[in-house]
Amino acid sequence: MSAGLPELHLHLDGSLRPATLEELARAAKKVVPADLRFHAGMGLADALSRFAFTLSLLQTAEAVRRVASELCEDERACGVTTLEVRFAPQLHGGAPIEAIVDAALEGVNGRAGLILCGLYGEAPAVLERLVDVAASRPGVVGIDLAGGPAPTHRFSLEDYARPFTRAKELGLGRTVHAGEGRPAQEIRVAIEALHAQRIGHGSTLLDDARLVDLVLERGVTIEACPTSNVHTGVFPSVAAHPLARWLARGVKACVCADNSLLSDVTTAQEVERARTIEGMTDVLLERAITNGHGARFVRR
Ligand SMILES: [Zn+2]
């Protein structure tokens, strides 16, 4: 096993320390919902709805700073040595986006790269703004598109091509939540139109052999989140996750926890669970760990 684990796909607002969640809730005179944590097969929409509560506790720069700092501490404690933390600063309305991003950067204090997330359905102008904010802050290493498409959304994945192209021009990393139990075509659009170097989830990748070729050709990394995928009902079990098949095909995939609080899993536990995936070997898992370290975003 390599010295240290990588964690490239971790949402700040889904990864609060449990004691901090309770403390922030008490201070806000709120009660933590009994069903806050994810459960197997709940579906993506239900899972996404759980963030409303955690976000309601993170509406100040101080709370964002604290949670970002604790997250770095906790990841280090479970053996993570390459860390990226992501969040959508526009959802933390208590302060301007810039102040919220700066608070997260202060909390991180050089211990992780910060990724700013636009959200499916949002006006592309929001992502443009995030790219602007990122451009002047070296601690921000990349951008993401998170959440998922909905029939009511006015904007399609292609509509985010402009901010993603600008991010590329500015030397920012690009990752996109794509193919999370949805058609593989989404992954292709993320790579071809949005210049994604990494894909979050990408669970349907093997449905399209030519897409696998594209992923191999461009060296795209897939951020596999097996426990999260079981919770959203994409796979019936961690064992059924295709990670071992991806790795055996030569796809640069890594293992990520997605939301340590809501999925109740640490990065170290997620790596251990990945051992139970059908076809997984020590060699393949070691490759996933190496892939994760190698795929971290580095600002040009
Ligand atoms: Zn995610």
- Domains of the chain, by residue range, sit at 5-294
The amino acid sitting at 297 is F
Active site includes 192?
Answer: no
Q: Would you state the pLDDT for residue 71?
A: 98
Give residue-wise pLDDT tens across range 32-58.
999 999 999 999 999 999 999 999 999
User: Of residues 180, 186, 223, 270, which has the active-site annotation?
Assistant: 180
pLDDT in tens, 194-243: 999 999 999 999 999 999 999 999 999 999 999 999 999 999 999 999 99
Predicted pLDDT at 156: 96
Please report, in angstroms and rounded to a whole number, the separation of the first and last CA atoms in the chain.
30
Is pLDDT at 3 greater than 80 in this prediction?
A: no
Ligand 1 centroid to residue 8 C-alpha, Å? 10
H, E, C per residue of the chain:
CCCCEEECCEEHHHCCCHHHHHHHHHHCCCCCCCCCCCCCCCCHHHHHHCHHHHHHCCCCHHHHHHHHHHHHHHHHHCCEEEEEEEECHHHCCCCCHHHHHHHHHHHHCCCCEEEEEEECCCCHHHHHHHHHHHHCCCCEEEEEEECCCCCCCCCCHHHHHHHHHHHHHCCCEEEEEECCCCCCHHHHHHHHCCCCCEEEECCCHHHCHHHHHHHHHHCCEEEECHHHHHHCCCCCCHHHCCHHHHHHHCCEEEECCECCCCCCCCHHHHHHHHCCCCCCCHHHHHHHHHHHHHCCCCCC
Q: Hunting for tokens 């989140």 — which residue is that? A: 225
pLDDT of 26 strictly over 50: yes
Distance 94 CA to ligand 1 centre (A): 23
214 alpha carbon to ligand 1 midpoint, in Å? 22
Q: How far is the CA of 96 from the centre of ligand 1 (A)?
A: 23
pLDDT of residue 300: 77
Answer CATH for 5-294 from 3.40.228.10, 3.30.460.80, 3.40.50.300, 3.20.20.140: 3.20.20.140
